[in-house]
Amino acid sequence: MEAMASAFFSSLIPYASFNLTSAAAHSIMYPLSSLLVMGSLAIQAVLSLPDPSRVKEREAEILKRSVDSFIATESPIALADMLCNIGSSGACASGASSGIVVASPAKVNPNYFYTWTRDSALTFKCIVDTFVNSYSASLQTEIENYISSQAYLQTVSNPSGGLSSGGLGEPKFNVDETAFTGSWGRPQRDGPALRATALITYSKWLINNGYTSTASSLVWPIIQNDLSYVTQYWNNTGYDLWEEVSGSSFFTVAAQHRALVEGSALAALLGKSCTYCDSQAPQVLCFLQTFWGSSQGYILANTNQNNGRTGKDANTLLGAIHQFDPAAGCDATTFQPCSDRALANHKVVTDSFRSIYTINSGIAEGTAVAVGRYPEDSYQGGNPWYLNTLAAAEQLYDALYTWNKQGYITVTSTSLAFFKDLSSSVTAGTYASSTSTYTTLYNAVKTYADGYMNIVATYAQSNGSLAEQFSRSNGAPLSAYDLTWSYAAFLTAAARRAGVVPYSWGEPTASSVPSVCSSTSAIGTYSTASTGSWPANQTPISGGSSATTTTTTTGTGSSTSTSTATSSCAAATSVAVTFDEIVTTTYGQTIKIAGNVDILGNWNTANAYALSASSYTSSNHLWDGTISFAAGTVIQYKYINVASDGTVTWEADPNHTYTVPATCATAATINNTWQ
């Protein structure tokens, strides 16, 4: 665990030599940051300094350092507290069965000492993603225990039904894996889709590392049951993720579409098929379009109901980040985080909380605020939630990743109001990364996203504990304490900020809305999944003796790629290559890669690939980015420095040359220094 945590958090913490401070220090850090900003403004007024952009730059840097520090301190706390809520070894989950996620240790006012299918799936999606990024034997055990527990829970008869008669839609169970039979908002149809996604992600790791038989025999049967439930019931109403509205929920339908797409792809990898997934996924996507309120300019959280609400709801922020695919562009049909629909919705939803919470009083549009569930909320007094405020941050971090990958930002009439909050002079258009408008918008969104993370830092408890809610009037933690989902939400937002992204779920091939939409359903296959023992020593390929390292020296820089191969896995067709470039830059400059292939612009600097400075610090001048290439591709490239006015500076000769590995490895890293 210690080795895993060290490796994972090193990707989240920009300062390599940073010493973790006590969480209590943060109670004074953020007011101090504000004083520093105010002081810089005061000095400017006294000395009549003419450049307000420098003030904005200093404010952004102070905020960045403050958030860096919070993430460094909170990350290990969040991981530990999240694992503490998982049975049977978690100290905060006494009495819970192995692999069972307790929503919160709280047993009174409110009693959250139950296991929800939704919360558990989202928690383990976070854990699996963490595991995929950095192997950990202890996390693998947690994942295996969770999968075994879900195989059993699928068989537990409950008020919603049995395995093949609707029981998978039961929202929660007792922590000893018995049915909860009390009155509740049931069924809730997001759980099976979310659980399928979490298990599909782990199955991909198993396959990539040569353990296809494990994925096929122990994991696929559970996934197949969940996919069968989705195809049979997606067109039926159910309760939303807040367990209050019976109707059709954006979050639920988005999760269902994703699960069917990646479920079918997994079936193919396992030599199986999911024809019912293939027939229903396009229709679910078609239905998803109905949640866009074109006249309102935002996503309607729930339809097929009459609850008297506006439909402005953090349900839609959570849906957008769940739909994020790092291989996608800014597709509006799947509501990708950077799409014009999702950005317009981000503004409407977050703005809806500006005037109703005292702690948001006076905060201008385009500046982060505390985010609740929906403005009409009255549960526990209707307060901001940590996980929703973090979702507002994560959506923007996702958008930044995609813009950086594709090298441009598009502003449409739909998203214009969002961008105008950040740059009042911006107009609709597409802005390449070489333009000053791109730089202005990119940096403004990054600061805006950090603001939401800073809200959480400001109102987190001094010991790092994250409850469910915090007071709308004074920010004090409220409702259930140590909410598991809050910790998972923090860890995923921190990962996206660091540029750590999950597997693609196949969005680029599943974003086309059919010309004819039908209200259909399909009956899949249900079967009792095995809860048998897990094979030992299922370690990553890189742990074997077949790992190879190739170093290519080019000019004054060096390119190092580590790839691995094993006879038990299929050769990768695509490899995600991370470029790590060490180069000193100043504010407004952007480092890009120009090269001999399309994604690198074919040596055209206007189309060069922009790297990210998200990990750049005073002690580690790192620009980085990850690009997928076909295995075996030979690349020639150079780094360029693009100033805010568009001036391009090339690094010295010779060109770098790199051959993408043609092995089982799906990822590689190149380390360069400016020459």
> Token digits for 331?
């597709």
Determine the residue type at 144: E
Long-range contacts of 618-621 (CB under 8 A, 24+ apart): 619/15, 619/16, 619/17, 620/14, 620/15, 620/16, 620/582, 621/582, 621/583, 621/584, 621/585
Exposed, middle or buried: residue 633 (CB in 10 Å: 0-12, 13-18, 19+)? middle
- Residues 6 or more apart in contact with residue 540 via CB below 8 angstroms: 135, 209
Decide: helix, strand or coil at residue 675.
Answer: coil
Kindly report the three-state secondary structure assignment for every residue of 82-104.
HHHCECCCCCCCCCCCCCCECCC
Residue 99 φ then ψ, to 5°? 80, 0
The one catalytic residue in 243, 244, 278, 376 is: 243
C-alpha–C-alpha distance, residues 270 and 259, integer Å: 16
The one catalytic residue in 74, 240, 394, 468 is: 240
Q: How many CB atoms lie within 10 A of CB 533?
A: 9
398 is catalytic: no
Residue 23 φ then ψ, to 5°? -60, -25
C-alpha–C-alpha distance, residues 657 and 8, integer Å: 30
Q: 168's torsion region: left (phi>0), alpha (psi -120 to 50) or beta?
A: alpha
Sign of CA dihedral 632, 633, 635, 641: negative
74 is catalytic: no
> Token digits for 141?
């055990």
For residue 218, the number of C-alpha atoms closer than 13 Å in the C-beta half-sphere is 21
Q: How many CB atoms lie within 10 A of CB 258?
A: 28
Residue with tokens 């301190």, as numbered in its chain: 73
β-pairing, 574-582 vs 622-630, is: antiparallel
Residue with tokens 């100043």, as numbered in its chain: 586
**Which residues are the active-site residues?**
240, 243
